[in-house]
Amino acid sequence: MISAKAYAAVSAKKPLQPFQLQRRDPRPDDIVIEIAYCGICHSDIHTARGEWGPTAYPCVPGHEIVGTVVATGKKVRRFKPGDLAGVGCFVDSCGKCQPCKASEEQFCQKHVSYTYNSTELDGTTPTQGGYSTHIVVKEKVAFRIKKGVPLARVAPLLCAGITTYSPLKRYKIGKGHSVGVVGLGGLGHMAVKLARAFGARVTVFSTSPGKESDARKLGANAFVLSTHPEHFEPLVGTLDFLIDTVSARHDFSPYLNCLKNDATMVLVGASPDPSEVLASSLIMGRKRLTGSLIGGTKETQEMLDFCFRKKIYCDIELIPAAKINEAYERTIKGDVKYRFVIDAKTY
């Protein structure tokens, strides 16, 4: 067994605390990664606090993981010690169902082993995430990271990057398209960067007036303060696509009204509470309201390679492990630009 230092949630009501974690010795198809950095996703907070259903405590969150390969199993071919590698939101799937064969393992019909608060394929061994010094994963779910990139800024691409890249790519967003981004946080700022890299014109919708200057610095062409209903009126029927990154309850209808006929609004922020939508907002104009979940192994590597070519990275605040609980509170308040990343040397 490999001993790793970590931070874990021990209950829904208590702060995360230092934790000693035992990782398995590498199997023939495993790699051992010495973690350098791990991003803090809002999903980590929801899970640590039991807001998305039952959490198996102790729970080590973290699914935006980058580091260095320090050991490999005898069947591993894609990695060698010294290589950089990343791990995202899942660490295994059945590999046999239709989604898995299509490299969309996040939709595995039998069992997705998420990086934390889940189980391995045996259904009993708990998975533990990246708020730790080491992780052991199958080679097939690890991603190649280019040397020389700003590694701490790459880490959140493993969730925030792929979560926004996937729907933009699926709906063929490109030059000449008008895209709306709802919310300017960890996901939203990446949606702006990626949509602009695809050639789209971007409008950011936010409840925070102070974010207008940031939105424009990130590449947004326009900004709408969404607390004022009248600010939506000039945009009615003008947008080709909307990506909603907000993870709190809100009314979808004003945004749907901004779409052109037959256009799509995709949800990537997952509120634990139901949100509202008027049926007429969909019926009038044949609008589509849909969702998207991260990406599979093939698309995630594609996203990483795209970002490396375009030099697109997350805007982050690097913190020591001792500030994880403070970072949680600041994330909830939106007080971060735009992703906290933990320095694993500080456990």
Domains and CATH numbers, the chain: 2-159+313-346 (3.90.180.10), 161-291 (3.40.50.720)
Of the pLDDT bands very low, low, confident and very high (cuts 50, 70, 90), residue 52 is confident
β-sheet bridge partners, residue 251: 276
Share of the chain above pLDDT 90, in %: 93
* Sign of torsion over alpha carbons 197, 202, 207, 211: positive
Answer whether residue 275 shows pLDDT above 90: no
pLDDT tens digits, residue range 94-131? Answer: 999 999 999 999 999 999 999 999 999 999 999 999 99
Q: What is the pLDDT at residue 273? A: 84
CB-CB neighbours of 24 under 10 Å: 12
Evaluate if residue 272 carries a pLDDT over 90.
Answer: no
Is residue 334 pLDDT above 90, yes or no?
no
pLDDT at position 87: 98
Task: Quote the tokens at residue 161.
Answer: 């990057």
Q: pTM score > 0.75 for this model?
A: yes
Confidence of residue 277 (pLDDT cuts 50, 70, 90): confident
Stretch 222-243: mean pLDDT, rounded? 96
Residue tagged 């290589």 (tokens): 83
Residue 301, CA distances (Å) to 31, 156, 268 in order: 17, 14, 19
Mean pLDDT of 244-251: 91
The β-bridge partners of 67 are 35, 85
pLDDT exceeds cutoff 90 at 53: no
132 pLDDT band, cuts 50/70/90, is very high
> What is the mean predicted confidence (pLDDT) over 179-192?
96
pLDDT tens track for 20-50 = 999 999 999 999 999 999 999 999 999 999 9
Gap between the Cα atoms of 256 and 265, Å rounded: 7
**Is residue 9 a contact partner of residue 55, using CB atoms and an 8 Å limit?**
yes
pLDDT the model gives residue 284: 94
Predicted pLDDT of residue 110: 96
